[in-house]
Amino acid sequence: ESLRFLSPAAAEAVRQAAGTPAFVYDAKTLRDQARKAMAFPNAFGLTARYAMKASPNAAILQLFAAEGLHVDASSGYEVHRAIAAGVAPENISLSSQELPEFFADLVALGVKINACSLSQLQRFGEACPGAEVGLRFNPGLGSGGTGKTNVGGPSSSFGIWHELLPETQRIAEEHGLKVVRIHTHIGSGSDPAVWQKVSGMSLDLVRQFPEVATLNLGGGYKVGRMAGEASTDLDVVGAPVADAFKAFAEETGRELHLEIEPGTFLLANAGALVSTVQDVVTTGSTGHDFIKLDAGMTEVLRPSLYGAQHPLVLVKAGGSAAEGDESYVVVGHCCESGDLMTPAPDEPETITERALGKAECGDLIVIEGSGAYCAGMSTKNYNTFPEAAEVMVAADGSLHIIRKRQDFEQIWSNEVAVDVSAM
């Protein structure tokens, strides 16, 4: 594996500027991916929404907003975070497993709400009678890179089960709601063929709501992080969908606006984690040689959670390329046997070795493919490790800290002193 947008010298420069571990994002790659998303094939108009849960730093939100992307939020708190970063409320859509108590305040600001269950729709109708609303359906089919990223089908709680359509229509009619959006999302890393099939199923749902003007097909486009892994070609997956929208318009006279919600596609290979080799140990000739990092599941949880594969690149201290073909098991710094950076594919409990070159304490390991679902999905503060810094590489190669490393006292700052002797 090789470095994507950093050079060995630049990786060392990140350590000098922000310490390690530090996430690094490449502004040029982010813009390139945003423009690809904005060019997604469509028949009658497109809104591309950044799935901000992938990495919610304000600088990333602002960069994407400048490129014309809107925002897909997965919690009410993400909505507030996006607004604080300068995203216009009317450019934010909320589809959440937990509809916040303050959702009516968000509606008043102009935030678009997609009800993701019958109870959510009932609550929305009671609080906002006569309002416009979107509906997220589970179309009965799902697909994901792993079972843990599949959010469609009978084993998934996401969205309103498609067979509950009559009850959905009843609740909407009871409260005079105007259903203007249908939303489906089947999983992250999904099979493009399944994604296209679900698009057709989603159009069948649109037929049941004559006022729907927008169909949101979610995201989940596969991104290859490792050498040899395939990535989804948006032109290939999108063209048949655009054709289906045209056919729907010819049949019904309704020209639907398309929404998509990429996250991984935009960020995965636009980010990396720079970490330091803090120890090298062995379990002998019949065991393994291990590299211990000053990072781990506190920054990149995906290997421990999914058995996800990330390219690992060894950089020598001072900023030069590593030499040799020595192999190691790479582990994190947590007191947790599952804190593993080199699991077998899709098998988080099985260790494997990687050929990295000769490693010594003080060298760097760059974990590539760490732009999406890493900084935003970490187990930060486990073992009281502070949250890592985040850095943006500008088009001219300059480094800009976009989140400083957490002061460790902040970790327990919300704890409240009590008299334990009285308990």
Per-residue exposure over 18-38, b if at least 16 CB sit within 10 Å of its own CB, e if not: bbbbbbbbbbebbbebbebbe
Residue in 81, 124, 78, 85 with CA at minimum distance from that of residue 101: 124
Residue in 47, 50, 94 with CA at minimum distance from that of residue 258: 47
Provide the pLDDT for residue 150. Answer: 38
Contact by Cβ (8 Å): 237, 217: no
Beta strands in 3-131 (DSSP E): 22-26, 46-51, 70-73, 92-95, 112-115
Length of the chain: 423
What CA–CA distance (Å, rounded) separates 30 from 180? 31
Q: Which residue has the tokens 């470095």?
A: 3
Provide the pLDDT for residue 137. Answer: 94
For 74, how many CA atoms within 13 A lie in the half-sphere containing its CB?
Answer: 16
Q: Is 335 a catalytic residue?
A: yes
Question: Cα–Cα distances in Å, from 216 out to 135, 193, 260, 332?
Answer: 10, 17, 6, 38
Q: What is the mean pLDDT of each run of 10 residues along the chain (423 residues)?
A: 97 98 98 98 97 98 98 98 98 98 98 98 98 93 44 76 96 98 71 72 94 94 91 90 94 97 97 98 97 98 95 98 97 96 95 98 98 95 98 98 97 96 95
Helices (H), 253-357: 264-267, 302-306
Helix (H) or strand (E) holding 17, with range, is helix 8-18
Q: Which of 116, 334, 335, 374 is catalytic?
A: 335
